[in-house]
Amino acid sequence: MNYSVKKIGQILNATTQIDSKIVTGVSFDSRKVKSGDLFVALVAENDGHDYVQQALTKGATAVLVDDRHQIDSKIPAIIVSDTLLALQQLGEYRRHQINPKVVAITGSNGKTTTKDMASAIMGSQYKTFKTPENFNNEIGVPLTLLTMPDDTEVLVVELGMDRPGQLTTLSELVSPDIAIITMIGEAHIEFFKTRENIAKAKLEITKGLKSQGTLLVPYDEPLLTNAQVKQNVQTFGQDIKDINSSSSKTIFTYQNTRFAIPLLGRYNIMNALAAISAGILLHIELKNAAEALQHFDLTKNRTEQLTTSHGVNLISDVYNSNPTAVAAVLATLKIIPATHKYVVLGDMLELGEQAASLHACLAETVINANVDGVYLVGPLMNKYLYPILQRRFDSAHLHQYETDQLAELIKDLQTLGENGDVILLKASHGIHLENVVNALVK
């Protein structure tokens, strides 16, 4: 990014002042501003306009502000009616100026892992940029567009969703060539009520999908395979052979090519096949895709494999959670070779009226996982799952904690297990089990 204030004003059809300054980056957090940044004063819980001077002190070249706030005439500025909308318009302009092939990914689970896999595959043959961390909303997506390098040939972008209409906005913003829906689960069912409504909202990703673009959906999800969309639809996930899992990787064969991914679980094979299918559409050779997936960079806390200070294997999957995701990761835990296995389950959030039944229905899945100990965290797990598990586990093997008792949980887990044992941690991000993981691997 290398725009003058005047150029940005022209792009946004906005008023400018001191417009000769050059902007080389963008930030909406005054604490993270770097020299050359455009500071975007967003109006949210905190009003970014209150931090304009702090941003300038940190090195901001200019500020993007709205016309309802007064700004010193001596400050380089772009003045608009809505700073969030202007940020999105600027990102959209850059998307079309650089004009990479765009792979957009959404889904109830697996979108970040699929993003990481797709980025590695595309990077084997193209100059590729991907969504940093989880920058997948109305703010994060335009920031992704504005931070991608000028020579980007393929952009792999993650699109999040928690309400109707959101994916329409994001899809139209990035105008994908390929769109992927990883799966339909129960995430955000509090707001959507049914999986059918979730599927309908996920299909909004096709609103910005180019007319000659392709939508990739899992072959075993009729809510997606039977959907009526204008673009080409292809399925992924079928025709896999020779599946074999160890404690550190999953091996499978697809189109006579052997893949070995450093992740556990059949659900991660589905994520891999979504990414591979996108690669095939962009003419990536399968041998290059296989090599890329052997050692790709995985975003933190997505089925991450770690080791505690005394040699216990940790499986950390604590960024989001819903019943489908818990069942999938527990099925994986069941086949991992280990002397003893333990599971830490935190509340699954945003399940609304179905929270009670969906937490309770995990009981059979937990019991069938053949674990040696269960540690439950949060009021939902303790109210709805704990009483059912009490019928199968005694007090020495079933434990419960409130969300403000993570210190006690850490203390109990620090002495749990021996070299070669496994502890799985799974919860919605709001439970903050990542703090437990960080404490155990110090």
Residue 110 known to bind ligand: yes
> DSSP states of 44-80 as a string?
SSSBGGGGHHHHHHHT-SEEEEETTS---TTS-EEEE
Residue 160 known to bind ligand: no
Nearest to 266 by CA among 110, 89, 93, 387: 110
Neighbouring C-alpha atoms within 13 Å toward the C-beta of 297: 9
201: part of which helix (H) or strand (E)? Answer: helix 195-202
Residue 182 known to bind ligand: no
Residue 352 known to bind ligand: no
Spatial distance between the Cα atoms of 201 and 198, rounded to a whole number of angstroms: 5
Contact assessment for residue 282 and residue 101, using Cβ atoms and an 8 Å cutoff? yes
Instruction: Please enumerate in sequence order all residues whose Cβ is within 8 A of that of 94, keeping only pairs 6 or more positions apart, or say none.
Output: 1, 145, 146, 148
Phi, psi of 11 (to 5 degrees): -60, -40
Residue 169 known to bind ligand: no
Nearest to 269 by CA among 291, 238, 297, 295: 238
Q: What is the DSSP letter of 301?
A: T
In order of 95, 102, 411, 426, the CA distances from 423 in angstroms are: 42, 37, 14, 10
Phi, psi of 421 (to 5 degrees): -75, 165
Go through 242-255 and write b for each residue having 16 or more CB atoms within 10 A of its CB, e for each that does not.
Answer: eeebeeebbebebe
Amino acid identity, residue 159?
L
Secondary structure (3-state) at 220: coil
Residue 107 known to bind ligand: yes
Residue 308 known to bind ligand: no
Positions at the binding site:
107-113
Question: Annotated binding site for ATP, which residues?
Answer: 107-113
